[in-house]
A and B are shown apart, each in its own frame.
Chain A
């Protein structure tokens, strides 16, 4: 029964149209594009790419599973981010691209495919130290996300049933690849938008992912 409800919800998610910020093509093409962005800089004068420093595949394999998490940027910029939001920040900073969403979405798809099968563990990267202060900030984000979810989503969707659908993003709708952040932004046009790159989006996703600890990245609902 629960599986049936989840499938219906996912079908609803998939049936909505015209996602802003989406990437035309298949998910496989996006992953390939993401690998390209990961391995080569767009600026020939500055050939340092993501993979120049993060060259070890074992290092990055657990990244998708660990988001949302606290990103320790210089104060006061540090905050809980989704993988897409963290990639946007990194692409803007390292590649100097003013419109970083598309490259960041592609890199997110690539890192998510790299992390396929890893157990979801928000805030914790396998083999890395666990910082209690960061987990406390993440817990605050989850609580904010739960309040937002209650106001915006719960009347139609039970969180426990819907949460596994969060593992299916980025996903393809009508030949367009869309992020979970963009989906959440456009899903309730009757309410003030969350902002795909805002803290509020990260909070709702942190809440949903908190219900998925231990499940596999890229797993079926």
Chain B
């Protein structure tokens, strides 16, 4: 008798758990990215976990041609959402999303008026790591800034895994507010379990004044920046 009561109670508890509101609800940030004129803008939406500008990069996603994006999160909390698009000044947004809820936001981007002050990605290459005997790939990206005010946002995004990475500067930098050096930035990717495909990788760089490179996607061949008329 006791065993039956216990079994029924356990079954009811498990059922309640399974069907409780929000039990399986995803924690999501969705949004739409527009220019001031209202038209949708494609690009990248990349996340720092925790307080904005902490340089702890986490998830990310591509913003599609209709300006929409969706990032599924492991947990709710505070995030720094940075939206990038070629020809526009990037937009940082401090956001807070509750676990099991969807946060929907609209981001409006402003074109960089001259492009003359934007950092530039000169080249990107993927090379096997010699140290790790083929179990890692090193991504190298050469970056320059006309004003010498690069910031820590020298970023690589892997669309296959949805992960965002800050690349390692060519020399040690005193603080996140320091001007980061021009030169070759690196990122080592563990490929011991699965190879990485360069087609999945997208790159973007911003300086301390929010001037932003074009987003460099496969085949990673930089083009001269174009001014977008508002």
Contact = CB atoms under 8 A, between A and B. Distances in A.
Q: Are chains A and B native binding partners rather than an unrelated pairing? A: yes
B101 interface: no
Interface stretch (A26-34, A69-77, A180-188): A69-77
B144 interface: no
Contacts, number: 64
B123 interface: no
B51 A48 contact: no
B159 interface: no
A192 to B, nearest CB: 27
Contact of A52 (B89, B117, B147, B177): B89
Given A72-B51, A78-B53, A94-B209, A129 B96 contact: yes
A77 B209 contact: no
Interface string B40-63: 000000000001111100000000
Chain B interface extent, by class:
20 to 34
Contacts of B91: 53
Interface in B83-97: 89, 91, 94-96
A129 B97 CA distance: 10
A129 B51 CA distance: 13
B46 to A, nearest CB: 16
B113 A53 contact: no
Given A47-B114, A75-B54, A131-B78, A93 B209 contact: yes
A53 B113 CA distance: 12
Interface string B85-122: 00001010011100000000000001011101100000
A133 interface: yes
Interface string A49-82: 0001101000000000000000011111110000
A70 to B, nearest CB: 9
B110 A74 contact: no
B67 interface: no
Contact of A78 (B51, B78, B112, B210): B51
A53 B206 CA distance: 15
Given A72-B94, A74-B152, A53 B53 contact: no
B37 to A, nearest CB: 13
Nearest to A134: B51
B36 A72 contact: no
Contacts of A151: none
B210 to A, nearest CB: 7
A78 B55 CA distance: 13
Given A52-B110, A55-B110, A129-B95, A45 B117 contact: yes
A46 B117 contact: yes
Contact of B94 (A45, A73, A129): A129
Contacts of B177: 73-74, 77
Please provide the 8 A-B residue pairs with the shortest distance between their CB atoms, ordered closest to farther.
A74-B176, A129-B96, A74-B53, A72-B52, A46-B117, A74-B177, A72-B51, A77-B177
